A = this chain, B = another copy of it.
Amino acid sequence: MRLLECVPNISEGREEKTIALITQEVKRHKGVKLLDVSSDKDHHRSVLTFVGEPEAVKDAALSMALKAIALIDMRNHHGEHPRLGAVDVVPFIPIQGMEMEEAVKIARDFGKALGKKGVPVFYYEEAATSAYRRDLPSIRKGEYEGLKEKLQDPKWKPDEGPESFNAKSGATVVGARFPLVAYNVNLKSKDLNIAKEIAKKVRFKDGGFPHVRAMGVDLKEKGMVQVSMNLTNYRVTGIPKVFEFIKEEALKKGVEIGASEVVGLIPLGALEGMVQHYLKYPDFLIRQVIEQRILEFE
């Protein structure tokens, strides 16, 4: 079974009826499973998580997006979270049985279709058309309120759709990325500097492991400090690598690891490297897991 995940962020987090109408557009697509809907009233924003066959996911995302631009008017939207449009960000994430190139193609097909409906579209991450457009924050800079002006800058010509400002819908950022693993390691210490120093060593930006973002966090209630990470490509840098590295670095400072944790969901593939590493089992594949076989069967 080929599995693509889509995690769109839409600018409606308050009206339950509107959110239900929008999510309904995902549910009615056969072969797509809506795993989660999280709405935040302060952010005035909802995040949907759904997975399924790539084409079905694309179709569901498009139906969902068209319903959202029909129901949401950005002229009345105020929330704490940065945003550029009614359908703010639409990332496609290859989970199983497909390459990143296919997810990029799906993202571009989706972007073209949404552009034709009158919404300016910017591609980001693996679907970006230029290096300076890879990062979401740089595309979203200026937000909805600054979009009209931003669109007049030739540097910010949309990848799809009209070059003119769409006051009702704003713009949409569409892309493809690897599944992200949010992974934290707690240290038995109250010294935040230790967590910060180790975070610096582990993150790519400062010479650490590729595809790792990291920061030190104070867990006051637990009386511990934490190295909080995003592993943006677990196939290149997986959990065992950062866990063992942090364990060693902490030990050098006489500090033990208290615990570690994953935030949210992880793909089964992220466990493959764990078995390979800890059990001296380099050939292990998730195909050897019954549940994986059941999914492939379909």
Contact = CB atoms under 8 A, between A and B. Distances in A.
Interface in A20-38: 33, 35
A56 interface: no
Interface of A is mostly: mixed
Interface residues of A, number: 42
Nearest to A95: B290
B289 A3 contact: no
B297 A294 contact: no
A279 interface: yes
A246 to B, nearest CB: 11
Contact of A288 (B239, B259, B265): B265
Interface stretch (A80-88, A196-204, A225-233, A270-278): A270-278
Interface string A255-293: 001111110111110010011001111111000111111
A96 B268 CA distance: 16
Given A294-B295, A295-B291, A295-B295, A261 B274 contact: no
Given A280-B260, A281-B261, A297-B35, A290 B266 contact: yes
A214 B240 CA distance: 29
Given A268-B268, A279-B243, A290 B260 contact: no
A290 B5 CA distance: 10
Given A271-B271, A275-B274, A294-B33, A262 B280 contact: no
Given A266-B288, A271-B271, A294-B35, A278 B3 contact: no
Nearest to A279: B260
Given A265-B290, A295-B295, 19 more contacts: A33-B297, A33-B298, A35-B290, A35-B293, A35-B297, A51-B294, A95-B290, A95-B291, A258-B280, A260-B279, A261-B283, A261-B284, A264-B288, A265-B289, A267-B290, A268-B291, A271-B275, A274-B275, A278-B278
A278 B240 contact: yes
A51 B289 CA distance: 13
Interface of A: 3, 5, 33, 35, 51, 95-96, 179, 239-240, 243, 257-262, 264-268, 271, 274-275, 278-284, 288-295, 297-298
Contacts of A243: 278-279
Contacts of A261: 281, 283-284
Nearest to A271: B271
Nearest to A258: B280
Given A271-B275, A274-B274, A275-B274, A265 B281 contact: no
A29 to B, nearest CB: 14
A210 B290 CA distance: 24
The residue in A261, A275, A293 that gathers the most chain B C-beta atoms within 10 A of its C-beta is A275
